[in-house]
Amino acid sequence: MDRLHSVNAGDTQRRPWIVGVSGASGTPYAASVLRGLLAAGESVDLVVSRASRLTLLDETGISFRDAHWQGDLGEWLARGADGKPGTFRVRTDDVRYWAAGDLAAGPSSGSYATKGMLIVPASTACVAGVALGLSKDLLQRSASVTLKERRRLVVCVRETPLNGQTLKHLVGLDEAGAVVLPASPAFYAGATHIQDLVDFVAGRVLDAAGVPHQLYRRWEGELGGASGAGGSRPAEDGPGGA
C-alpha cells in the first residue's frame, strides 16, 4: 500500500502525539481529544484500528476510509457528541494518518520522534495486546514502542464491568509506566449536555499528557460552584474553531 502522507524537510522538527483509536465504544472521546490537541497547536499522528472503523460507522454513520481519510476525519471531528454534524470547525492540516496494517510506519520505530501516545478509547482487546506486547497491528506496536522509549502512554479504557484478566493487564500497564485512565465522566463540572461529559474525559486525557485545554470546568474547592456555571460546553465553534 502506498503511504498516505508526504514527508518534507520541514517535518524534521515535528514531534507529534500519536493518537490510537481502538474498537471500543466511545469514538466521541477520541474526537474531543483530537480537537483538543489541534486547538493546543499540537501535531498528531493518527492510527485508527480496523475494529474502530466499525464502531465509528455505528456511532456516527461515518465510514473511515484510507483513501479518503482527510475528508472522513474532517466530517468526524466536526460532529458533536449528540451526532449533530457541523457542530465544530477544525483544521486538520497537522494530522498525519498511518494505516493500521502499516507496520513499517514511522511510529513503529523508537527512532521516530514523538511526544507520546494516547489510546482513546481503549478496548479490552487493545489493553491485552499492549500489556502482552503482541504488536499485532500498528496501534499496538506504537504503544509498545512508546513504553520501551519511556515516553508518555495514556490508556483511556472504555469497558464495564472489568473482569480479573483485564484488571491484571491494566495493573501491568501501570507498572510499565502507562497512565491508566478509565473513561469515567464526572458531574462536578456542571454538565448540561452530553458534550460536557465527553469533554471532561477528553480533558482528563489531555491533563495526563500535559497538554493545556479548556474542555471542562476545574474544581476550585467551592461547593455548589458548578450549579451557577451554566455548563462547561464551549461555544458551538468549539476547540479549533474560528
pTM for the whole structure: 0.89
Encode pLDDT of 76-135 as tens digits.
Answer: 999 999 999 999 999 999 999 999 999 999 999 999 999 999 999 999 999 999 999 999
169 class by beta-carbon count within 10 Å (0-12 exposed, 13-18 middle, 19+ buried): buried
Encode pLDDT of 159-199 as tens digits.
Answer: 999 999 999 999 999 999 999 999 999 999 899 999 999 99
What whole-number distance in Å separates Cα of residue 19 and Cα of residue 24?
14
Encode pLDDT of 37-77 as tens digits.
Answer: 999 999 999 999 999 999 999 999 999 999 999 999 999 99
